[in-house]
Amino acid sequence: MKRTGLLVPLIVAAALAVSVGAQQKPQTIYWADEVPAGWNGKWPAAFQTVPEKTAFKRTTSVLQLHEFIDVLKWNSEHLHVQALFTSALGHVAPVVVLANPRVTSPEEARKSGKPVVLLVGNIHPPESEGSEAMQMLMRDILFGRRKHLLDNQIVLVVPIFNVDGTETLSTRDGNPHLAGARTNIGGFDLNRDGVKLETNEVVSLYRNILNRWDPVLFYDAHRMGSGNFAYGNAYATSTVPAAHPGPRGYVWDTLFPAVRDMVRRDFGVETYTHAMFDRGWPPTLYSHDNTIWSVEAKFVVSNYGLRNRMSILTETPGRASFERQIFGQYAYIASLLEYTNTHGRDMQKVCADADADTIAKVRAGTESGQLRNWLDGKYVSRGKIDVLGYRPSESAYLPGTSVRAPKPVTGPPELVRGIEDFTKSVGITDAPVPRGYLIPAEFAWLVTKLQTHNITVQTLTKPMKAAGEQFVVDRLVKTNRGGYDMTTLEGVFSGLTTREFPAGTFFIDMAQPMANGAFYYLEPQAMDGFVGWGLLDQALRARGVERHPVVYPFFKYRKEIAPDGR
């Protein structure tokens, strides 16, 4: 079936309207920098966010966020605040738990049976629109017309995740005039730490929220640095081929279309897939690759798909005003929470079914070597689509200023018809999934990372003999990919062999919900698993990989051999 950027006819004119029903008044669609008058309501000064107080010229600092949360806390019994982590510069990143009745722990959340939804802002502080929208939504849920959004769900909000980056202010082109740094104080991009877990921020997120609260959905807010799509917000989900297709398919096929309709109906905003046109006009394709949204698991939201859970990343357009960007995030998140409040139990079931299916397939298909999963993938076309866009323009100095920015756009966009939709991820290289992995005791540091990824790891209390496969590394190759120094191993798996492992060896039973993640992180030829990120370079070099072939240290076992040899 043809999938179009809009589900209703477009009339491109000075005042463009969409019919929402035969007996209803046509609804205005807001384009470019337009927002509805009074969209954020009227609030006393104490309940206003920093952008609202400054005519949308400033973003919220960490101190101002704590002050805003303090106001909410003193006026509502339906929130709980805890520290996610303390940063290298001593800033505390708060987590706000919104629930009715109030919930203060993961145990209470599980007892309630309600799904948990996680919202994260400012993983990239220059893209602060989502953070500001989340603060407005917390206020509106607690004191405004959105109180019902706590009827059937628990909402966790991390408005400012990269607290040190947020406090590293500088003058940047565009709006707002002051913005934080993209990286943390150590120079790490937190949204590239989904696999390797090098930062305190991401490790704390995994241990303190993802592992303990187990959100059914993880939402991450961003803004495009460039691009000329015409949507108020653009969305993506995990496209890692190794992730279970159930939760990913639900988000793409069921949740996205429903929320898109709600955003249009309730806010007069058009939303669509997070992708970019190719160069030239008119464009010929609309691709995830053009936005650097690859099929790899390095992005925190993409990696969350390996947990059999749902995830969404959205990007507001870079050429819009700061107020419009905040409005675009607000409209999408509010509509999303309306959806999860109604359909959260269905979402929980999809994820639970994916857990059960993962375990069942491991038990049924690993001893024979028939169960396989993907190591790498690519995007292919879903077919022809129609997409809304503005013609590209080069950055230039704004008149009367020393600020460079793309030329602002006004009015309705163009409808680009019949271009290729390159957003479907498919696997291109696979490998057998083992019944389990056996890891030498010297890799305790790596086991800690696996446990942070919520993978259950045991320790052998007595020797174990197992039949399985071992990978022989012929060559370690370093390449730059996506701006990072990545590792590729050239080699082959041996035939089925039998080895004995001493007590103290780490043992991963793959009959667990995190089997897809364990496979992706530990396989020697996965695109950006532990090997890809260079975590095993030192160990392989110590074994002499630069002089001769060496055996990859992790053994893929298919079957345990009993003492009698059976």
Give the residue from 219, 109, 125 showing the smallest Cα distance to 181: 125
- The percentage of residues in the chain with a pLDDT greater than 90, rounded to a whole number, is 87
Task: Work out the average pLDDT over 131-160.
Answer: 98
Straight-line distance from the first to the last Cα atom of the chain, in angstroms, rounded to the nearest whole number: 53
Q: Which amino acid is at 511?
A: A
Instruction: Reply yes or no on whether the pLDDT at 14 is more than 60.
Output: no
- Measured between alpha carbons, how far is 250 from 38 in angstroms, rounded to an integer? 34
Instruction: Reply yes or no on whether the pLDDT at 268 is more than 70.
Output: yes
Are the CB atoms for 241 and 427 separated by under 8 Å? yes
Q: For residue 56, what pLDDT is reported?
A: 96
Could you count the other beta carbons within 10 Å of the beta carbon of residue 418? 13
Domains of the chain: 17-34+44-426 (3.40.630.10), 434-561 (no CATH)
220: Cβ contacts below 8 Å, ≥ 6 apart: 120, 123, 130, 191, 300, 301, 311, 312, 313, 314
Q: For residue 144, what pLDDT is reported?
A: 96
Give the residue from 408, 414, 403 showing the smallest Cα distance to 393: 408
- Mean pLDDT for all residues in the chain: 93
Give the residue from 224, 368, 362, 240 showing the smallest Cα distance to 305: 240
Structure tokens at 266: 């309730």
Structure tokens at 493: 């798996």
The enclosing H or E element of 428 equals: strand 424-432
Task: Work out the average pLDDT over 261-269.
Answer: 97
Give this prediction's pTM: 0.94
The enclosing H or E element of 90 equals: none
79: Cβ contacts below 8 Å, ≥ 6 apart: 72, 73, 96, 97, 98, 99, 102, 138, 142
Question: Between the CA of residue 109 and those of 115, 511, 514, what are the distances in Å?
Answer: 8, 26, 21
- Measured between alpha carbons, how far is 158 from 131 in angstroms, rounded to an integer? 8
Q: Report residue 17's pLDDT band, with 50, 70 and 90 as the boundaries.
A: very low
- Measured between alpha carbons, how far is 546 from 451 in angstroms, rounded to an integer? 30
Distance of CA 398 to the CA centre of its chain: 34
Q: What is the pLDDT of residues 339-353, one digit of tens each?
A: 999 999 999 999 999
Q: Which of 28-42, 126-140, 157-171, 396-410 has the lowest mean pLDDT?
A: 396-410
Detail the DSSP E strand segments found in 212-309.
217-223, 233-236, 271-273, 276-277, 285-287
55: Cβ contacts below 8 Å, ≥ 6 apart: none
Give the residue from 176, 178, 135 showing the smallest Cα distance to 158: 135
Q: What is the pLDDT of residues 201-224, one digit of tens each?
A: 999 999 999 999 999 999 999 998
Q: Report residue 229's pLDDT band, with 50, 70 and 90 as the boundaries.
A: confident
Task: Work out the average pLDDT over 163-171.
Answer: 92
Token look-up 């089997």 returns 515
Are the CB atoms for 232 and 324 separated by under 8 Å? yes
Q: Report residue 566's pLDDT band, with 50, 70 and 90 as the boundaries.
A: low
Q: For residue 97, what pLDDT is reported?
A: 98
Structure tokens at 17: 């309207």
Could you count the other beta carbons within 10 Å of the beta carbon of residue 281? 13
Q: For residue 227, what pLDDT is reported?
A: 75
Helices 515-522 and 444-452 cross at an angle (nearest 10°) of 140
Task: Work out the average pLDDT over 309-316.
Answer: 98
Distance of CA 383 to the CA centre of its chain: 25
- Measured between alpha carbons, how far is 301 from 443 in angstroms, rounded to an integer? 27
Task: Work out the average pLDDT over 280-286.
Answer: 93
